[in-house]
Amino acid sequence: MESLSDDFEIEQKEIVEIIRGKERRENSGGERLEWNRFNADLVCRVVKEFLKRHLPKQMKIVGPNVYVDGYPTEFDLLLVTESAIPAAFTNAYSNLDVRFVIEIKSHSYENHALSEQLLSQFTALQKQYPNVNCTFLTIRDTWNPNSVDSTSYLGDLKKIFEPQFSVVCLAESRTMQLIPGQWRDFVNHLTAI
């Protein structure tokens, strides 16, 4: 019988493999196409499906493309109370029902300005609604560069967001090696509230 830790490691591997296998980068003719929206939707739906397995009965995950009512920014996923319903004709949930805002990327931003923009959005949201927590999940990123001239994008993200907001990465982007314990830590972070 596998331990709970092993189950999380298996899930982490499955998440990375499913996303990697279904992401689109080019059409059949080899031309590069813009698949960003498709890939973003895919990543959110895969994470949502796996995350649902671990939520307490009083919580649910909603999204993608959701809002905290009264705040103009769209977010990837929200962790909300089980009884939460969106405002009429919208996908916006009351801040009183929102426990976590979750932003997810297949790869993180290589542009620091975009990371700073997300940090600003998280900070402004939490200032307006102190009860709402925020976290950032990247599926794969460079975290252990193989040369001194290489950048650890995960390290850069952590410098920007932590300790105020959690940053989690499931795998190293070049080698696809899993970063041990990250899915378990992410789930535990979300369900500890």
- The pLDDT value given to residue 26: 56
pLDDT tens, position by position, 107-150:
765 666 788 899 999 999 999 999 999 999 999 886 665 656 66
- Rounded to the nearest angstrom, the gap between the alpha carbon of residue 150 and the centroid of all alpha carbons in its chain is 24
pLDDT interval class at 173 (50, 70, 90): confident
Task: Return the closest-CA partner of residue 156 out of 171, 145, 102, 125.
Answer: 145
The rounded distance, in Å, linking the Cα atoms of 60 and 35 is 28
pLDDT tens, position by position, 36-85:
778 889 999 999 999 999 999 999 999 999 999 999 999 999 999 999 99
- Bridge partners of residue 66, in order along the sequence: 75
Task: Name the token pair of 134.
Answer: 């925020």
pLDDT interval class at 96 (50, 70, 90): very high
- The pLDDT value given to residue 30: 55
- Rounded to the nearest angstrom, the gap between the alpha carbon of residue 19 and the centroid of all alpha carbons in its chain is 13
Q: Are residues 69 and 97 in contact, defined by beta-carbon separation less than 8 angstroms?
A: no
Q: Once rounded to an integer, what is the mean pLDDT over residues 93-120?
A: 87
How crowded is residue 116: how many other Cβ atoms within 10 Å of its Cβ? Answer: 13
Topology classification of domain 4-191: Trna Endonuclease; Chain: A, domain 1 (3.40.1350)
**pLDDT reading at 24 higher than 80:** no
The rounded distance, in Å, linking the Cα atoms of 175 and 156 is 19
Q: Once rounded to an integer, what is the mean pLDDT over residues 77-95?
A: 98
User: Which single residue is written with the structure tokens 């900070």?
Assistant: 123
Handedness of CA 28, 30, 34, 40 (dihedral sign): positive
- The pLDDT value given to residue 37: 79
User: Lowest-confidence range among 11-15, 95-99, 159-163, 168-172?
Assistant: 159-163
